[in-house]
Structure formats: C-alpha cells, structure tokens
Structure 1
Amino acid sequence: MEIKKQIQDKITQVIQQQYQLENVVLEVQQNKTNFEGDFTVVMFPLVKQARKSPDILGAELGEALMVAEDYIVSYQVVKGFLNLSLHNDFFIHQLQQLGNHLGQLPKRQETIMVEYSSPNTNKPLHLGHVRNNLLGYSVAQILQAAGYNVIKTQIINDRGIHICKSMLAWQKFGNGETPESTGLKGDKFIGNYYVKFDQEYKKQIGELKAQGLAEEEAKKQAPILQEAQKMLLAWEQGDEQVRHLWMMMNGWVYQGFDETYTRMGVDFHQRQYESQTYLLGKDLIQEGLEKGVFFQKEDTSVWVDLTDEGLDQKLLLRADGTSVYITQDLGTAVERFKKNDIQQLIYTVGNEQDYHFQVLFLILKKMGYSWAEDLHHLSYGMVELPQGKMKSREGTVVDADDLMQEMYLTAKEKAQELGKMELLSHEEKEQSYETVGLGALKYYILKIDPRKKILFNPAESIDFNGNTGPFIQYTYARIQSLLKKSEYEDKILSIEYQLNTFEKELFLVIAQFNEVITKAAEALSPAQVANYVYDLVKSYNSFYQNNPILNQDDEQARQLRLKLSKVTGDIIQKSLRLLGIGTVDRM
C-alpha cells in the first residue's frame, strides 16, 4: 500500500494524456498545511513545459484526477499547490488490506555484498567497532527489506606486525597462561598483551634515549620491536612454531569475537582472512604494468599516477616486492566479484579512510572493471565519549563487551527506579533489561546520520521519554498490552465510519513505511528508519491520548482504533528489527 505512489503514477499518466509530455514527475507529499486536503502536489515543475500558470494547471489536473479516480473526492488549488482530498472509505479499505506485506518490498534480481566489522586479532572490539557493526548490519537488513539479495561479509585482519606484537608479548610475559586459566574472554586476553608490548616498547625507548640515542633511532633499535619484526618475517616464511602460536592465539580471539557478535546481535554469511588474501593483487599489479596503467620507478617499486584526477602518486608494490594495503584490497575486490554473483559492494569503514577508497575505486576503473562503478564506501563519523578519543595501545578504548554490560545495568537501574517491569518474572526482567539496554545503545547510534560524528552518552540514551530506543519499545509494549486486554481479532471494518483527524494522521504515517525503506536503502541510512519510527510513535501516542479505545461504546470506532494499534505495533517491531533492535511485550 503506497498511496503517494498510486497518486503520483496517475498524475504522470494524466500529464502524458492531457499535455503530451513525457518524463514529467510531480512530487506528491502529505499535506501538513492548514489548507484542506490529504495530499499536496507541487505544480511549478510543469509550468514551463505546459506554458500555463500553476493555478490553471492545478485546476485542470484536479478535474482530470477526479474523473480518473473515484477515491479523490475534491481538490483545492492554493498558490501553485494542488491539494487533494481522498474519500473516507478509501482510507478504510486501505487500512483493511494492511498485512504482512508491510515492510517487505518486491523481490529484486540484484545481489549486494555489505562488508562491516573487519577487526584486528590483537585486541577486542571497541566502541568504534560497535558503530561499524550496527551500521553495516542495519544497512544489510534494510537492503534485504527493500528486495535485494544481501551477502554480509567481513575481512579479518589476522596478520601483520600488530599481531606479532601480541604474540611476542605472550611468549615473553605470559608464563603459559590461557583465557581459560585466567577466566578472560580470548580477545580481551590477547588485547592485554598488545598493551603489555607497548608498555615494554616505551620502556626500552626510554632506556635507549637515556644512553644518548635520538628518539627516532631509539624507536627503531628497541630490541622488542626488532624481535617482533623477525617474528613477522618468520611467519611469512612459514615457520612452523610461529604459525602454530599464531593459530592458537587467533583461535582464542575468534571465540571472543563470536561471543561479542552474538550479544550484539550481528552475523555474517562470509568471512575472509587477511592471511589468505594479502598476496592477492600482485598479479593485478603486473597486469596493470603491462597495460601501462601503472609505472615502475628505478628502485623497481610500482606506482599509479593519479595526479590528472586531482590526487597523487600511490605506491602499489614496494621495491622488495611486498604488497601494501591497497594491493590486497584490489585483489580482494576482484576476487569477490569473481566468486560471487554480486552487482554492488559496500564497504562500511570510518571516514578516516575516505581517501583510501577514492584511490581504490579509481584504480579499479582504470583497470577496466565495469563493476568499479558499483563500489560504495559507506563512510561514517567517529564515535567519541565526553572524555575524548580512545587509544588502543594505551588500553584506553571503550570495550564493546563492557559497554553492552553497562547498557544492561543502566537499563536495569532505570527500570527499577521508574517501577517498570515489576509484574514480570525474574527471567522476563533479565531479558527485558538486556533488550532495552542494547536497544538504547543501537537506537542512539543509528538515529544519527552515518556521516556525522557521535558523542555517545550511555546514560542519556536510556530514557523512557523522547527520541530514544526505550521510548519506542515502551510504546510497542503498551500496544501489546492493549491488544491483549481487548482480545483483539481482525474484523471487517465499517466503511461508514468517519475517520477523525488523529486517526487519519496516524494512518498517513503508517502508509509511508515502504517508501521509507526504499529511501533508506537508496541512502544507505538507518537514520531514516529510526527517525520514521519515532515519528510513528509520536503520532500513535497523540492518537492514543485523544481517542478512547477499550472504553469506547461505538463498536466501529473501537474496531478501527484497535486495527490502527495493531498495524502500528507491527511496523514498530519491523522498523526496530531493521535496526537490529528487539522488542518486549510487557514493561
């Protein structure tokens, strides 16, 4: 049910018939003015081509629409705007037809791959990863609801000097302890050794500086760094002991990651590992050299010149033949399109990598890959706390697990303070605290446009009033309670019932749901869904406060208002699912 599209398609048809004009689309919007009418049409785009005033065009179009569609009962032309009023029974009929199709658009043929998370195996997931995962997962959900086939993927950065730092620190200082022996999650366990390495590294730099070395030289000569570099070389050469240690420690990390993903409520269809992809791309570099897309310097390093495109020269292969990050990314992109029947690839990565992806996409275009036009960087702003930025090496990051636990505890404290959930069993309360706490976190992050930076305040996000997850979840629970008390059954609605202003306004917000999903998918923005469901909840609460339901003597009114409540609840639940947020039936 998309009333606006139905009207818009009919207007386009009338314009073609009456003015012989093709490809003229007039925008139809819900009428929010004080003038009469349910929908308004802006006439100005038609003026130049039809060579008539907007008021004359509005009158002609209004008359033609009334003849063509019996659901349009009247029209009014005001200052170049055509306001259309629809028959009351049209709304009743549309409301009667509402069902499971809401929030599920027609199936498309395209498959889109969405990459998100992509962590390093030397530390646990932190607040920055939380925004990345929530954003990538929600975009995947929205695209799927919009009719696309979706493949959720991640590439895990499981090799490199940063991994060797954790491995070396464990060898030196671990005394054989394990996550099991310490009671720590595997990713936290490894992360502690990454911090330990940095502490020892700084200590050695200080000692070398005290011996007279300049700081830059001290950083290079610190024994622990040189040992880590030797370990990386041994890994690349396939040293059996180093590889065994690497597999064992990464195994600990993966187990920890999976626990975090499960609690966060995100998942993946595919996983790639940098250890298996870092050599990809070298053949592409050779191919680019042969085609003249790249060039080689005297030291045999390979570069691409992007100065004509307003960028710079970019290193693709070092003089010693080793690859850089973009080499791997080139190979991985080609591999993904080769192994999957995908039409688009979306990278969910922070805005500090904007330039990297600009270069990556441009190189692939120069290489002649037609699908390079269908690569998208979903760039998002950083998440900061009131006390500022986080630093992994110094151990000052906000751990994702700790944050989720804090959200659960904050929800519990707030619910007890407000007297919410008192009638629930212990198990129901615990599940509700978890659902509300994580819902608050997810909604707070996803309601903001992805491009904007977030200053995250956990306490502010858990409020049962205002534009928050708990407020929306509470409205859903109130609706479920209402439906249960009424012993609601879906019955035929009376077309004789006259909708009042609050009922019609709520219905018109409901009618926007599929359009919101389409626009959110086009913009890759969960914020559009979040702000829509907030508007829906506000409209429902206004309707609820001004229209008695259970103590309503008029059975026609009672049944229609229950139907509006049922559909609103369904859309709230579906909207929250698109954001990865759960609901509770009682609060």
Structure 2
Amino acid sequence: QSSGMKGDHLVGKYYVLFEQELKKQLAELKQNGGGEEERAARTPIMQEAQEMLRKWESGDPETIALWKQMNEWVYEGFDKTYRDLGVTFDKIYYESETYLLGKAIVLEALKKGILYRKEDNSVWADLTDRGLDHKVLLRSDGTSVYMTQDIGTAVQRFNEYPISQLIYVVGNEQNYHFQALSIILDKLGYSWAKNLHHLSYGMVELPEGKMKSREGTVVDADDLIAEMIETARQMSSELGKLDGYSPEEAERIYRTIGLGALKYFILKVDPKKNMMFDPRESIDFNGNTGPFIQYTYARIRSVMNKAAEQKIAVNEEALARWNMNPKERMLARLIYEFPSVVENAADTYSPAVIANYVYELAKEYNQFYHDYSILKAESPELVSSRLLLSEVIGRVIEKGMYLLGIDVPERM
C-alpha cells in the first residue's frame, strides 16, 4: 500500500529484480565452468532462495508470514484483473496445498522402485524409454519442484471431480513439462494419465517484440485493458459512433468494445500459432474484429426495436410461404451449422473455430442488410420472415460471443 502499486505489480517487480541479479551472478561464475542450471544453484541469491524454500516447507513462522503477506498482495491484484476481464473460477488450487501430496506420491513411487535416488539425495524419473530424458522430482535437500506440485494437483483434481480429461491451458514454452507430467503419472500407474491434454497456445507478441515476464518486458494486463478501453473511446469518438449517448452509457460501451476487441483478436487465431497483437487494429469497426461483430449485433437489435415500435410482429404462418432468395438460404445454412461449429471447436480445442464462424455470419448478415430491405420489404410476409431471420442470427451471434467470453451491447 505504501508503494502505491497494485499488489501483483509490486511482487512482479521483485520477481524481475531477482532474475536480473541472478543473471549478474551467473555471469560472474561463468569462468568456473558447469552448465547454467548447475551454476545457478551455486549463486548466492539462488542459495538464499533455496534456504527460504526449506524454511517455508519446514513451517518457519517468519518465512510463512512473509509468504502469506506477499500472496495476499498478489491474489488481491489478480482478483481485480480477473474481475475486469469477466473471468471467474469454480475452484482455485494452490501449489502450497498440493505439494505435500505430490511429495508423498513421489516418495511412495521411490519405495516401489519406479523412481530412483541419486547420490546427492535428489529423486528422479527416468523417461528415456519414452523419448525424453531424466526428470528431477525432489531436490537434494528434499524440497519439491514444479513437477512435484503438478503431480499432486492432478491427482487431487481427479480425486475430487468425476472427470475423464484434464486440459492444461498453458503456453507452448511448457510443452516438454506437460509431456513429461503425463508420462510420469502414467509410470506411477494412474489410468487417466494419458487423458491429460496440454492446450499449447502460441505466444502473443506486440509490435515492440516478445513479452517476457522475467525480463520485465511483459505488458501488464491491467495496462493493456486500460489502453484498449482508451483506444475504443478514441476510435468511437473519431467515427461518431456514440454521439448522443450519456457519459455513463458511453463509458460502459467503451469498456465492452475494448474488452471485446482484446479477447476476440486473440481468440480468433488458432491457439497453436504465435500472433502479433495490435490494439488499434483490433478495434477496427470493419473486418474480422470483435467490434465489427458487436456492431452487427447492435444493428440487429436496432432493427428489432424499430419493428416493435411499428408493432410489426413475426407471422409464423408466413414462413411456410417464404421463398428464400440465395442470400437468405446462405444465412439459414450458416445458422444451421452453429451446433456443429461449437462441437468442432470443442473437439479441436480451438475457440478460433467459433470466433471465425461468428465473424462469417456477421459479415454475411451485413451484406444482406445492405442489399435487401427488411422493414420495407415488398410484402408483410417478407418483412415478417426477414425479421425472424435477423432475430435468430442475433441470437446465434450473442451465443457465439458468449462462448468466447465477450459481451455484445444492445446499442452501439
């Protein structure tokens, strides 16, 4: 609080400072030989960190108090960011609560001869028969590593929930880790181990270059959210999109547009691919963007509201006599495809399938809106039929965007 920084930002600052000091000390030890991991273990700062970890695992009151305080700062910061993004969790697993289970599982496997202990007392898994190398599971001082914690967390999740599959949504820099995790759990005898799926997504880069949290070159999510909302405000003002709206309503829509642009621009790309994120490009009201789809939905709602004001109702009997033109048939086919699109997205672990489908539907509807009259169609029956088509397309767009975690405004 006294720093004036958001809690997670403050802790992140020291995370970067630690890495910078570690690199400095590594450079000083370079002439002594050995691999980087071995040299890192000999640096004073890493030895100090390991000593703190030993104290933490042994329950040292001072270390635990500091750890709890820092966690509190981080979680408060994370909670705010998640709220801003509209993200919620059913349950949160903390590594601090699962590492003991992981250690117990590892030690039991060691007794059974599934794992082995080196002369320095560290515990390892031999994965060479599966095409990988040897993986450390407990350090020589008995402390756990990330893999140990992930073993405990995976087992706890399968114990607590009647699930058949576990999907890890983690960047492609961790491909090896999750491949090794699945193999280790399989060796430990867990029947579900082969059902761990790593949804390995590509890295998001900015025009300025790749983001790396340890080097402090990461773009903070809070700053990016604020920038997106400000960009939405600027571009909406330039285009006169929200003229006549109250300041409160305009601000709410700026936020909806900004967050929608951010989420959609990322989700429309196949998860496995790296991508370049450009805030201004993502808020373009034309093209394959969130705001374009949001604007299409708002346009449909405007049509439906005008129909209600004119007391034009959908006459379902007229639908039986509706002789669709080619464009209307195309839109009807797209609507029909929606359930299979959602199923395909689930099967391929790719939200991009839904994102690009919704864009295609919005694009085709806009072309239809441009080429054909809806409220002033040639006959009441045709007005009614096109209204129904518009309403259903609006519902599909809304559902598709909901699946992507994106809100669509009634007005825009």
Q: Same fold (TM over 0.5)?
A: yes
Query: Are 2:276 and 1:455 aligned?
Result: yes
2:355 maps to a residue whose letter is A
Report the alpha carbon displacement of residue 338 of structure 1 after superposing the two structures with TM. 1.1
Is this contact kept in 2: 1:421–1:586, CA < 8 A?
Answer: no
Is this contact kept in 2: 1:390–1:398, CA < 8 A?
Answer: yes
Is this contact kept in 1: 2:186–2:194, CA < 8 A?
Answer: yes
Secondary structure (helix, strand or coil) at the match of 2:167 reads strand
Specify the alignment match of 2:338 in structure 1. 513
* Alpha-carbon spacing, 1:344–1:352, altered in 2? closer, same or farther (3 Å): same
* Alpha-carbon spacing, 1:287–1:485, altered in 2? closer, same or farther (3 Å): same
- How far apart in 1 are the matches of 2:188 and 2:45? 41
Report the alpha carbon displacement of residue 390 of structure 1 after superposing the two structures with TM. 2.2
Query: Are 2:387 and 1:562 aligned?
Result: yes
Specify the alignment match of 2:100 in structure 1. 279
Match of 1:577 among 399, 402, 410: 402
1:249 maps to a residue whose letter is M
Report the alpha carbon displacement of residue 191 of structure 1 after superposing the two structures with TM. 2.2
- How far apart in 2 are the matches of 1:569 and 1:260? 30
Report the alpha carbon displacement of residue 538 of structure 1 after superposing the two structures with TM. 1.5
* Alpha-carbon spacing, 1:218–1:448, altered in 2? closer, same or farther (3 Å): closer
Query: Are 2:233 and 1:409 aligned?
Result: no
Specify the alignment match of 2:150 in structure 1. 329
Report the alpha carbon displacement of residue 466 of structure 1 after superposing the two structures with TM. 0.6
Report the alpha carbon displacement of residue 424 of structure 1 after superposing the two structures with TM. 1.4
Specify the alignment match of 2:376 in structure 1. 551
Report the alpha carbon displacement of residue 387 of structure 1 after superposing the two structures with TM. 1.9
Secondary structure (helix, strand or coil) at the match of 1:349 reads strand
Please provide the CA RMSD for this pair. Answer: 2.5
Specify the alignment match of 1:92 in structure 2. none
* Alpha-carbon spacing, 1:413–1:344, altered in 2? closer, same or farther (3 Å): same
CA offset digits 1:292-330 (Å, max 9, x no partner): 433344444333322222222222333433332222222
Specify the alignment match of 2:67 in structure 1. 246
- How far apart in 2 are the matches of 1:232 and 1:307? 30
Secondary structure (helix, strand or coil) at the match of 1:271 reads coil
- How far apart in 1 are the matches of 2:360 and 2:375? 24
* Alpha-carbon spacing, 1:393–1:306, altered in 2? closer, same or farther (3 Å): closer
* Alpha-carbon spacing, 1:427–1:385, altered in 2? closer, same or farther (3 Å): same
* Alpha-carbon spacing, 1:235–1:296, altered in 2? closer, same or farther (3 Å): closer
Is this contact kept in 1: 2:315–2:385, CA < 8 A?
Answer: no
Secondary structure (helix, strand or coil) at the match of 1:315 reads strand
Specify the alignment match of 1:532 in structure 2. 357
Specify the alignment match of 2:87 in structure 1. 266
Match of 2:304 among 483, 496, 521: 483
1:491 maps to a residue whose letter is N
Secondary structure (helix, strand or coil) at the match of 1:531 reads helix
Identify the range of structure 1 (473-482 vs 493-502) with the bigger mean alpha-carbon deviation.
493-502
Superposed, 1:211-360 pairs within 5 Å as 226-360=47-181
Length-normalised TM-score, structure 1: 0.65
Report the alpha carbon displacement of residue 509 of structure 1 after superposing the two structures with TM. 0.5
Is this contact kept in 2: 1:502–1:546, CA < 8 A?
Answer: no
Report the alpha carbon displacement of residue 368 of structure 1 after superposing the two structures with TM. 2.3
Secondary structure (helix, strand or coil) at the match of 2:192 reads helix
- How far apart in 2 are the matches of 1:381 and 1:431? 31
Unpaired runs of 5+ residues, structure 2, are: none
2:336 maps to a residue whose letter is A
Q: Which has the larger radius of gyration?
A: 1
Is this contact kept in 2: 1:493–1:560, CA < 8 A?
Answer: no
CA offset digits 1:323-345 (Å, max 9, x no partner): 32222222221111112222211
Report the alpha carbon displacement of residue 184 of structure 1 after superposing the two structures with TM. 2.4
- How far apart in 2 are the matches of 1:347 and 1:220? 29
Is this contact kept in 1: 2:322–2:382, CA < 8 A?
Answer: yes
- How far apart in 2 are the matches of 1:409 and 1:583? 18
Report the alpha carbon displacement of residue 228 of structure 1 after superposing the two structures with TM. 3.9
Specify the alignment match of 1:95 in structure 2. none
Specify the alignment match of 2:247 in structure 1. 426
Higher relative contact order (CA 8 A, sep 6+): 1
Is this contact kept in 1: 2:8–2:78, CA < 8 A?
Answer: yes
1:450 maps to a residue whose letter is P
Specify the alignment match of 1:131 in structure 2. none
1:427 maps to a residue whose letter is E
Is this contact kept in 2: 1:410–1:462, CA < 8 A?
Answer: yes
CA offset digits 1:396-417 (Å, max 9, x no partner): 2100000000000001000000
* Alpha-carbon spacing, 1:394–1:497, altered in 2? closer, same or farther (3 Å): closer
* Alpha-carbon spacing, 1:554–1:239, altered in 2? closer, same or farther (3 Å): same
Query: Are 2:263 and 1:442 aligned?
Result: yes
1:269 maps to a residue whose letter is D
